[in-house]
Amino acid sequence: MPQALTSSLPNRSHARFWVIFTKKERWGLSWFGCLVVAVIALAVFGLIGLEIHPFLAETHRVDSNNLVVEGWIHGYAIQMAVKEFKDGHYERVFTTGGPVEGSGGYISDACTLASVGAGRLRKFGVPPESLQMIPSREMDRDRTYGSAVALRNWLNEHNMPLHSINVLTEGAHARRTRLLFQKAFGDDVKVGVISVPSPDYDAKQWWHYSEGVREIIGEAIAYTYARFIFQPTESERRGIINSSSSAVGSPKPG
């Protein structure tokens, strides 16, 4: 090839080195394809929106004469807990919970949510002899799990084996509560759960209320974490510090 012709050709290796953008053929969605994908996405999100609240706020009772009430629940849920105790013919009620928020950690059993919940239940008619508070004395990574471990340890210390419990809590917290109590107690104990609906929003249209959006999104994230990520440490599993023998009443073993 003549020298003049060869010198006019670009340096191929040099050209490749400096290339930043390339042009390639690719498949893409047409306007009709975009419409189909949008419709499917809306249908999926709509289905999730309708089903996520019943999923998180489950109520699944098991046959048991032992009722556990999470001490942090609000007044309306406390009244429902009293009704559940009377209608369900329970023999014992256990209240659980750690240090009250803002207290700076454990001060005394009286400054725990277990004590607060027990006082409210007693005020609304639960007999003291049927009531037992089980305070947690540590600010655990997961307070629900820590409360369940504290209850499990108290029962073991007092030689009160249980085969089943029903845990009463609020709204969308229910499924996570049941999961963490089951993790703490293991497969030998049947764990049921009772969800008290919030009066602050319509559960069937939770996305129309700021309270509903906050609760559902928060609990969906928390349940996902508890289900797939949360792994208790050995000390958390054993609950070395989290047990307490403080009592409101003196229920008999059974």
Domain containing residue 223: CATH number: 3.40.50.620
pLDDT at position 199: 95
- The torsion angles phi and psi of 140, rounded to 5 degrees, stand at -75, 165
pLDDT at position 139: 66
Number of domains into which the chain is organized: 1
Q: Does residue 246 sit within a domain?
A: no
Q: Does residue 24 sit within a domain?
A: no
Which position has the higher pLDDT, 41 or 249?
A: 41
What average pLDDT does the segment 202-210 reach?
Answer: 94
Amino acid at 92: R
Q: Does residue 37 sit within a domain?
A: no
The residues, any chain, with a CB within 8 Å of residue 45's CB and separated by 6 or more, are none
Amino acid at 157: E
Which position has the higher pLDDT, 253 or 127?
A: 127
State the DSSP H helix or E strand holding residue 231, giving kind and residue range, or none if neither.
Answer: none
Which position has the higher pLDDT, 196 or 28?
A: 196
Q: Does residue 226 sit within a domain?
A: yes
pLDDT at position 252: 39
d(CA 116, CA 128): 14
User: pLDDT at residue 195 above 50?
Assistant: yes
Q: How far apart, in Å, do the first and last CA atoms of the chain sit?
A: 103
pLDDT at position 79: 97
pLDDT at position 47: 60
pLDDT at position 245: 41
pLDDT at position 234: 85
Q: Report angle CA 224, 189, 91 to the nearest 5 degrees.
A: 115
pLDDT at position 216: 95
Which of 98-102, 133-137, 212-216, 245-249 has the lowest average pLDDT?
245-249
d(CA 250, CA 91): 12
pLDDT at position 45: 65
Asked whether the beta carbons of 100 and 112 are under 8 A apart, the reply is yes
Q: Does residue 177 sit within a domain?
A: yes
Dump the DSSP string for 32-98: HHHHHHHHHHHHHHHHHHHHHHHHHT--B--S-SEEEEETT--HHHHHHHHHHHHHTT-SEEEEEE-
User: pLDDT at residue 12 above 80?
Assistant: no
In angstroms, the Cα distances linking 121 to 28, 29, 59, 83, 177 are 62, 60, 21, 10, 20
State the DSSP H helix or E strand holding residue 209, giving kind and residue range, or none if neither.
Answer: none
Q: Does residue 254 sit within a domain?
A: no
Coil/strand/helix, residue 167: strand
Which of 3-7, 30-34, 122-126, 245-249 has the lowest average pLDDT?
245-249
d(CA 115, CA 108): 10
Which position has the higher pLDDT, 40 or 177?
A: 177
Q: Does residue 145 sit within a domain?
A: yes
Q: Does residue 45 sit within a domain?
A: no
Domain residues for 95? 54-238
Which of 62-76, 101-115, 144-158, 164-178 has the lowest average pLDDT?
101-115
pLDDT at position 253: 35
Asked whether the beta carbons of 136 and 143 are under 8 A apart, the reply is yes
Beta bridge partners of 70: 96
pLDDT at position 244: 42
